[in-house]
A and B are shown apart, each in its own frame.
Chain A
């Protein structure tokens, strides 16, 4: 008994203290931050940011634009003699013409050849008034980058497809995804936002500096010097 008494006495003595304290402080039972609660909220934040980082972020970062004219590469490639070179050719001095300007198109498209609404739109809106088509360039690099098509195509004998993908056989233009911050195409970074894995066969290759360096290291054994591209 004495021990029970003692215990009782002890607890009786000890018990009122917390009650006293609590009632003295708030007057009601407190909501303790439980470990599970902390974990739950941590996970909400964790999973939430994973979803926004992987799914929402790319959606928000890039705006989607269409080319002014839905150009059909496939049709043209069938009609010309010299493949890509027929329209995207090298000047005598080795400089690359890139996207052809209107004067190249006018030879055939002075008036519409077909009743394709895109061709009619092209003739009416650009050819007749003589306005250059504001094509959106998927491969445009910043001004600080010097790139020689000549060195790669003529010198190293690379094909157009090896970097630009199977664009020559496309029937429609792709959606142009423009980075809202930088103004450059998503193609430069690569379609994969994580830059992990390889692009699908036929897709264009990413064109960041590391991509240049990687290929150069594989092909030439050296990443190359700064001034080769940043003149």
Chain B
């Protein structure tokens, strides 16, 4: 057998084929296939936490006001997972996507790692790293100069909420400094608080014993979409018994509506009318709780005051809201209104809840009053499965404030936003009015320096363009944000706070909880970056300002302040993380009311309803004056909330954005939902590119046809369209606030704009 050039190839081929055939009969290819796949899991550049013993540390989630307890799983020194805390009274082990992805807020790319000073133009993104000493000195100098020029009230501070000790510390700082301008966004809780005060004469928040109610009438509340404490609501759905009926009333088939016992579509913004219509049927058919109405309420029937003037009672008022009329307003068939009213009244423990979506829009006081009157008609107040009054958190008394002449003069100035004025006497803060008021002033802005704590008004306030214009007029903006959010990106200085898991924060009773709790978020890790607790930063600034301001802050740091403020609770909280305060027996004495009549007042006797013509008029339905010309803008834009998106001061984590469906966000574009019928009239198809125009602005969107949205409406998700933050969020979709303005409730000044008129045209 001779091998030459010619047959060499033949024999080689034979050998290779033999080898290949043989190898198939060995374990090598199969084993290698398995090993290679495992090898790809262990690429050295894939980050893997270091090995170590597994431990757990308890704390609380501070990413939204929900106040859920969390259990952080550690491997060695590194937290690797956040889970719901099983025995926490709020969430009992459940947790929302935001809380679950809480680690991404700590380790993600959005963090501000050190104090920064703006170098380029505002919002240009050019920063210079400075030391904490330089940063605190810069802020102290500016604040000292405003006081020196006898203009302390031109310092304003925007916080995310008024709840907890940090806003109280800021309030104390502003008072002794001389400014009444502590602003924060209002939510439905504020509207409910006012309704509570008007009807029951008590200061406190409204709690819903939703777990024990058997018939829940939800006026658009996104129970599964972030309303109240998301962890608590997840738990509710997880453990819900089939007897518990949830009736979801809203114009869009939301996740909540899809999981409810029944979804009733309603014309947007007409929920108040429906509540009065239901009351009409309940009263007409005599289905109300007569014992409660007779003994414990006032203003149900017409009444005459001491001066001999006759006032309209609630029963007379709702006569005007016949099912026929309400059917016209709401678009709900008359028989359905009637059967709904009967079912509600016939249930042993019915409960009406309010706050559209996540409840971030306060809405009008009338609306809150109308919905609470349903709970009053069934006598479901301070009862299991009903509404409860949760008293405001009381703190230990701090040392008395000494105030100098500058501070006293400053504090006598009216608030910039008009809250607490004669026009809006019961309202505490009206952040929604701030941009408009600054823009309407000719010359210097009434706000000369702005401190922003745990808030992102440049993103969350309606009408982004107006907000930016207003902020342009403020010469000195300091953000205390942990993240590079829109407001931080537009600030002059950033004094970054520690992130969640890194700092102390006390959380009073979360929105909607029926009973009082205090939760303490304790730091479970050391701060990763050169950050400082905002409480510490403010105490430092106060001490540097000297005089009475310094004296008002005898505490060395925020932790001492917190311990001092929570006093008796502090050691309990440090040990257990949460305490439940059982209601004071006096307060919970069923049906004790602090109103003038000592009863539940359908028609508040106090002359508090300045907006209406008759200062003693009971609640009625007044539709919000939605912006836009009906001819030019034939459709209505309604923003909607989703548990997978956050429209609030802390934006989505990358994980949350990842969970958003392709029918909500496609690449960088938001999808708007319209009914196929609406699409037909506009000649739009599924996936068409379109331009969404409102009186406030324009946006490019993709059309998604959805049977679950009522014809004539355009649904747009809240929580997208960020311009700041990292690549995981910036530039994705449309911010609803770019397209929507604020409409003031004449009685409270609260924003009641549930939408805006809009047009959708083919791009």
Report yes or no: B18 in contact with A54, Cβ–Cβ below 8 A.
no
Beyond A37-B1, A37-B7, A142-B38, whether A189 also contacts B31 by CB under 8 A is: yes
* A53-B27 contact, Cβ under 8 Å, with A31-B6, A182-B35: yes
> A38 — nearest CB in chain B belongs to which residue?
B14
**Pair A42/B27 contact, Cβ less than 8 Å:** no
- Taken residue by residue from 16 to 44, chain B's Cβ proximity to chain A (1 for < 8 Å, 0 otherwise) reads as 11111111011110011011101101100
Minimum CB–CB distance from A30 to chain B (whole Å) comes to: 7
Determine which of A36, A45, A95, A184 lies in contact with B18 in the assembled complex, contact meaning CB atoms within 8 Å: A45
Query: Is the beta-carbon distance between A182 and B42 smaller than 8 angstroms?
Result: yes
Interface residues of A in 24-56 (CB under 8 A from B): 30-34, 36-50, 52-54
Chain A residues within 8 Å of B607, by CB: none
Assembled-state Cα–Cα distance A184/B32 (Å): 14
B36 near A49 with CB under 8 A, answer no
**A41 and B6 form a contact (CB under 8 A):** no
What A residues does B15 contact at CB under 8 A?
A: 41-42, 44-45, 48
List of B residues within 8 angstroms of A49 by Cβ:
18-23, 26
Q: Identify B7's interface contact among A32, A36, A47, A184, CB under 8 A.
A: A32
Interface size on B, residues (CB 8 A): 34
Complex Cα distance, B21 from A53, in Å, reads 11
B10 within 8 A of A: yes
Partner of B35, one of A34, A143, A179: A179
Chain B nearest CB, measured from A18 CB (Å): 17
Q: Of A43, A50, A52, A193, which is within 8 A of B31 by CB?
A: A193
A59→B10 CA distance, assembly (Å):
32
Q: Decide yes or no whether A57 CB sits under 8 A from chain B.
A: yes
Q: How far is the CA of A31 from the CA of B22 in the complex (A)?
A: 27
Answer whether residue A20 sits at the interface, using C-beta atoms and an 8 A cutoff.
no
- Give the docked Cα–Cα distance between A184 and B38 (Å): 9
The answer to whether A46 and B21 have CB atoms under 8 Å apart is yes
Query: Distance (Å) between the CB of A206 and the closest chain B CB?
Result: 12
Who on chain B is nearest to A195 by CB? Answer: B27
Q: Quick check: is B2 within 8 A (CB to CB) of the other chain?
A: yes
**Out of A45, A54, A61, A182, which one reaches B14, CB within 8 Å?**
A45
Q: Report if A43-B39 is in contact (Cβ < 8 Å); known contacts: A33-B11, A61-B31.
A: no
B422 interface hit (Cβ, 8 Å): no
A194 at the interface (CB under 8 A from B): yes
CA distance A37 to B13 in the complex (A): 12
B400 in the interface (beta carbon within 8 A): no
Q: Does A144 contact B (CB under 8 A)?
A: yes
CB nearest to A32 among chain B residues: B7
B585 contacts chain A at the CB level, 8 A cutoff: no
Residues of B within 8 Å of A32, CB to CB, are 7
Quick one: CB contact mask for A167-210 with B, threshold 8 Å, 1 for yes?
00000000000010111100001000111000000000000000
Q: How many A-B residue pairs have CB under 8 A?
A: 108
Query: Given the interface contacts A41-B14, A53-B28, does A46 sit within 8 Å of B19 by beta carbon?
Result: yes
Known contacts A33-B7, A95-B54; is A45 also within 8 Å of B39 by CB? no
Q: Which A residues touch B36, using CB under 8 A?
A: 181
- Across the interface, which residues of B come within 8 angstroms of A54, CB to CB? 26-27
Cβ-neighbour of A33 out of B10, B18, B23, B26 (below 8 A): B10
Answer whether residue B405 sits at the interface, using C-beta atoms and an 8 A cutoff: no
Given A33-B11, A181-B39, is A50 in contact with B16 using a C-beta cutoff of 8 Å?
A: no
Indicate if the CB atoms of A53 and B39 lie closer than 8 Å: no
Q: Which of B11, B17, B18, B27 contacts A57 (CB 8 A)?
A: B27
CB distance from A179 to the nearest CB of B (A): 6
Knowing A32-B7, A45-B17, A143-B48 touch, does A183 contact B22 (C-beta < 8 A)? no
1/0 contact trace for A132-159 toward B, CB 8 Å? 0000000000111000000000000000
Interface residues on A, range: 35 or more
CB distance from A50 to the nearest CB of B (A): 5
Determine if B3 is an interface residue (Cβ-Cβ < 8 Å). Answer: yes
Complex Cα–Cα for A45 and B445 (A): 88
User: Could you mark each residue 82-113 of chain A with 1 if its beta carbon is under 8 Å from any beta carbon of chain B, else 0?
Assistant: 00000000000001000000000000000000
Q: Measured between C-beta atoms, what is the minimum distance from A39 to chain B in Å?
A: 8
Residue of A nearest to B39 (CB): A181
- Which of B12, B18, B26 contacts A53, CB < 8 Å? B26
The answer on a CB contact under 8 Å between B42 and A46 is no
**How far is it, in angstroms, between the C-alpha of A182 and the C-alpha of B34 when the chains are bound?**
9
B35 engages A181 (CB within 8 Å): yes
Chain B 209-232 near chain A by CB (<8 Å), digits 1 or 0: 000000000000000000000000
Whether B4 is near chain A, meaning CB under 8 Å from some CB there, is: yes
Which B residues are CB-close (under 8 A) to A144?
41
B27 touching A194 by the CB < 8 A rule?
A: yes
With CB as the reference atom, state the residue of chain A lying closest to B17.
A42
Chain A residues contacting B1 (CB-CB under 8 Å) are 31, 34, 36-37, 40
Closest to B10 in A: A33
Q: Is B20 a contact of A193 with CB atoms below 8 Å?
A: no
Smallest beta-carbon distance B332→chain A, Å: 42
Instruction: Knowing A181-B39, A189-B31, say if A46 contacts B18 (CB, 8 Å).
Output: yes
B610 to chain A, nearest CB (A): 57
Q: Does B31 contact A45, Cβ atoms closer than 8 Å?
A: no
| Chain B hits for A194, CB < 8 A | 27
Residues of A within 8 A of B27 (CB): 53-54, 57, 193-195
> Are B3 and A31 in contact, CB atoms less than 8 angstroms apart?
yes
Chain B residue at minimum C-beta to C-beta distance from A101: B53
The complex places the Cα of A34 from the Cα of B3 at a distance, in Å, of 10
Name the residue of chain B whose CB is nearest to the CB of A97.
B53
Most interface-central of A30, A52, A53 (chain B CB within 10 A): A53
Q: Mark B681-692, 1 if CB is under 8 A from A, else 0.
A: 000000000000
Cβ–Cβ < 8 Å partners of A42 in chain B: 14-15, 17-18, 21
The listed residue (B7, B12, B14, B17) touching A31 by CB distance below 8 A is: B7
* Bound form: Cα–Cα A27–B26 in Å: 46
**In the complex, how many angstroms separate the beta carbon of A145 from the nearest chain B beta carbon?**
11
Return the chain A residue nearest B80 by Cβ: A143
**Smallest CB–CB gap between B75 and chain A, Å?**
9
Q: Are A48 and B10 in contact (CB under 8 A)?
A: no
CB nearest to A95 among chain B residues: B54
* Bitwise interface map of B from 712 to 727 toward A, beta carbon under 8 Å scored 1, else 0: 0000000000000000
Q: State A189–B23 Cα separation when bound (angstroms).
A: 19
* A36 contacts across to B, CB distance below 8 A: 1
Q: How far is the CA of A231 from the CA of B486 in the complex (A)?
A: 36
Residues on A with beta carbons closer than 8 Å to the beta carbon of B19: 45-46, 48-49
Closest CB-CB distance, B183 to chain A, in whole Å?
44
B34 contact set on A, CB distance < 8 A = 189
A residues in contact with B42, CB < 8 Å: 142, 182-183
User: Taking the nearest CB of chain B, how far is it from the CB of A87, in angstroms?
Assistant: 15
In the complex the two chains form, what is the Cα distance from A50 to B25 in whole Å? Answer: 7
Q: How far is the CA of A45 from the CA of B24 in the complex (A)?
A: 12
The residues of A that contact B38 with a CB separation of less than 8 Å are: 142, 181-182, 184
In the assembled complex, how far is the CB of residue A150 from the closest CB belonging to chain B, in whole angstroms? 13
Residues of chain B within 8 A (CB-CB) of A40 are 1
Q: Is the CB of B12 within 8 A of A41?
A: yes
Report how far A30 CA is from B7 CA in the complex, Å.
10
Chain B residues in 8 Å Cβ range of A45: 14-22
Query: In whole angstroms, how far apart are the Cα atoms of A75 and B20 in the complex?
Result: 50
Q: Which residues of B contact A46 (CB under 8 A)?
A: 18-19, 21-22
Complex Cα gap A194–B27 (Å): 5
Could you pull out 26 A-B pairs where Cβ atoms are within 8 angstroms? Answer: A30-B4, A32-B7, A38-B14, A40-B1, A41-B11, A44-B15, A45-B17, A45-B18, A45-B20, A45-B22, A48-B22, A49-B26, A50-B23, A52-B28, A53-B27, A57-B28, A57-B31, A179-B35, A181-B38, A182-B35, A182-B38, A182-B39, A182-B42, A183-B42, A194-B27, A195-B27
- 20 extra interface residue pairs, beta carbon distance < 8 Å, beyond A37-B7, A41-B12, A181-B32: A30-B4, A30-B6, A33-B10, A37-B10, A37-B14, A38-B10, A42-B18, A45-B19, A46-B21, A47-B18, A49-B18, A50-B25, A53-B23, A53-B28, A57-B27, A142-B41, A181-B38, A181-B39, A184-B38, A193-B27
A-B pairs, 8 with minimum CB distance: A53-B26, A45-B18, A31-B2, A45-B19, A49-B22, A42-B18, A46-B18, A45-B15
